[in-house]
């Protein structure tokens, strides 16, 4: 047997948060626990029927069985541009300002490879999606964490970033509506970010995966709606959360043509694009009547209300989210994030995600995902009540 040694870039990676959560889930299920898993943002509601039917028709077409284009089918990119125009009143050129992705995670993970050299800095929100720092580390970059604190409405304080860090910064990730905190961002915040980016020549990568999972009729805005945004960055979207298509693995990036060209160059060397039948079905998804999406949002809003009211009744401090399907709750003082997750799992059969897993500023919090039916969420609250 040869001595298999991992590359340093892999050795030095922290364990992937959701892989660790999966292990905890599997161990509980193996013990016969009736587990209520509120840890992963994977919607339980099926993909809408008309999208599935579009896929069934598309997969029979022989032309879709060959290699797809790297950038995405022209018809798919045109559908994305049309969706942006209708939803955000933003006009983009589908030929140069839209790029297909194998889910937004893939694009987020690859974009540092296009622009970051060893020694360059990437500004990363924390707590945040683990792929932001991991993609940076794969590119040999240095991660500078921007703490998202409750007292700042979970917005990074740009004035706290040291001057020498800003000089070396190449890229900045932002994410609103935010995972895991469910916070939103006002237009003034994006304006401040654009000014900073122009001053220090920083590319902004805005992860907007949850822009369509909103409540009480309060639609989140697009970063690209703000004047100057197209000059400095791009926005990532996923069909996963909007249309309950997590397993389909398709998304897109929209924005600055030069940034997309750089990301596209990485992708053309590392992947072969998205199966065209999935792109065809995604065109149908992007044309979905908003009444269908409103029904999906109403399901999550009902769950939000049940979970929020339940947690508040237990004395937990939690902000009522206006978007995403997550609740970000303070754990009781006698627990850490991880020990509280273990306590709920071992004594109530309820699995959440420790806030610290999203970064050190997440210590003291737990994230619950609204990805189980309302009755199971009610049951989860009842179980937690019995052990607190």
Domain boundaries, given as residue ranges, for the chain: 8-46+291-387, 49-286
Same fold, 8-46+291-387 and 49-286: no
- CA distance linking residue 264 with residue 140, whole number of Å: 19
Which of these ranges, 40-44, 63-67, 244-248, 289-293, has the smallest mean pLDDT?
Answer: 40-44
- Under the phi-then-psi rule, with left for phi > 0, alpha for psi from -120 to 50, and beta for the rest, what region is 364? left
Confidence of residue 13 (pLDDT cuts 50, 70, 90): confident
- CATH 3.30.450.20 is the classification of domain 49-286: no
Indicate whether this model's pTM tops 0.75.
yes
Cα-Cα-Cα-Cα dihedral sign, residues 341, 374, 103, 198? negative
pLDDT digits (tens, 9 = 90+) for 79-99: 999 999 999 999 999 999 999
Mean pLDDT confidence for 101-108? 97
* pLDDT of 383: 97
* pLDDT of 29: 82
Question: φ, ψ for residue 351 (rounded to 5)?
Answer: -115, 120
* pLDDT of 84: 98
DSSP 8-state symbol, 110: H
Query: Around Cβ 316, how many Cβ atoms within 10 Å?
Result: 18
Q: Which residue carries 């099926």 as its tokens? A: 46
Task: Give domain 8-46+291-387's CATH number out of 3.90.1150.10, 3.40.50.300, 2.40.40.20, 3.40.50.970.
Answer: 3.90.1150.10
Percent of residues, the chain, with pLDDT higher than 70: 99
Mean pLDDT confidence for 44-71? 96
């Amino acid at each position: 047997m040869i001595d298999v040694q991992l590359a340093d870039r892999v050795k030095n990676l922290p364990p992937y948060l959701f892989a660790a959560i999966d292990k905890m889930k599997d161990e509980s299920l193996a013990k016969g626990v009736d587990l209520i898993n509120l840890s992963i943002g994977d919607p339980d509601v099926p993909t809408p029927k008309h999208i599935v039917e579009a896929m069934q028709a598309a997969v029979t077409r022989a032309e879709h069985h060959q290699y797809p284009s790297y950038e995405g089918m022209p018809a798919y990119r045109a559908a994305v541009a049309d969706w942006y125009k209708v939803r955000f009143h933003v006009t983009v050129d589908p030929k140069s300002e839209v790029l297909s992705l194998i889910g937004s995670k893939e694009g987020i993970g690859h974009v540092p490879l296009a622009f970051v050299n060893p020694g360059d800095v990437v500004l990363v929100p924390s707590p945040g999606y683990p792929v932001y720092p991991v993609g940076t580390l794969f590119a040999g970059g240095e991660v500078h964490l921007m703490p998202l604190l409750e007292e700042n409405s979970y917005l990074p304080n740009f004035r706290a970033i040291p001057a020498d860090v800003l000089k070396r910064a190449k890229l900045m990730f932002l994410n609103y509506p935010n995972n895991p905190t469910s916070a939103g961002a006002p237009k003034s915040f994006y304006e401040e970010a654009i000014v900073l980016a122009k001053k220090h020549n920083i590319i902004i990568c805005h992860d907007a995966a949850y822009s369509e999972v909103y409540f009480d009729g309060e639609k989140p805005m697009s970063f690209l709606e703000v004047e100057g945004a197209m000059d400095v960055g791009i926005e990532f979207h996923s069909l996963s959360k909007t249309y309950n298509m997590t397993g389909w693995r398709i998304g897109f990036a929209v924005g600055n043509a030069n940034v997309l060209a750089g990301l596209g160059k990485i992708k053309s060397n590392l992947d072969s694009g998205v199966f065209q039948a999935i792109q065809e079905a995604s065109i149908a998804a992007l044309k979905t009547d908003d009444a269908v999406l409103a029904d999906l949002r109403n399901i999550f809003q009902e769950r939000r209300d049940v979970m929020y009211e339940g947690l508040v009744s237990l004395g937990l401090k939690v902000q009522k989210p206006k978007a995403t399907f997550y609740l970000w709750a303070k754990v009781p003082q006698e627990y850490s994030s991880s020990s509280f997750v273990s306590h709920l799992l071992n004594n109530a059969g309820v699995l959440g995600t420790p806030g610290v897993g999203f970064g050190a500023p997440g210590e003291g919090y737990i994230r619950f995902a609204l990805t189980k039916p309302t009755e199971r969420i009610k049951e989860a609250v009842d179980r937690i009540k019995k052990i607190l």
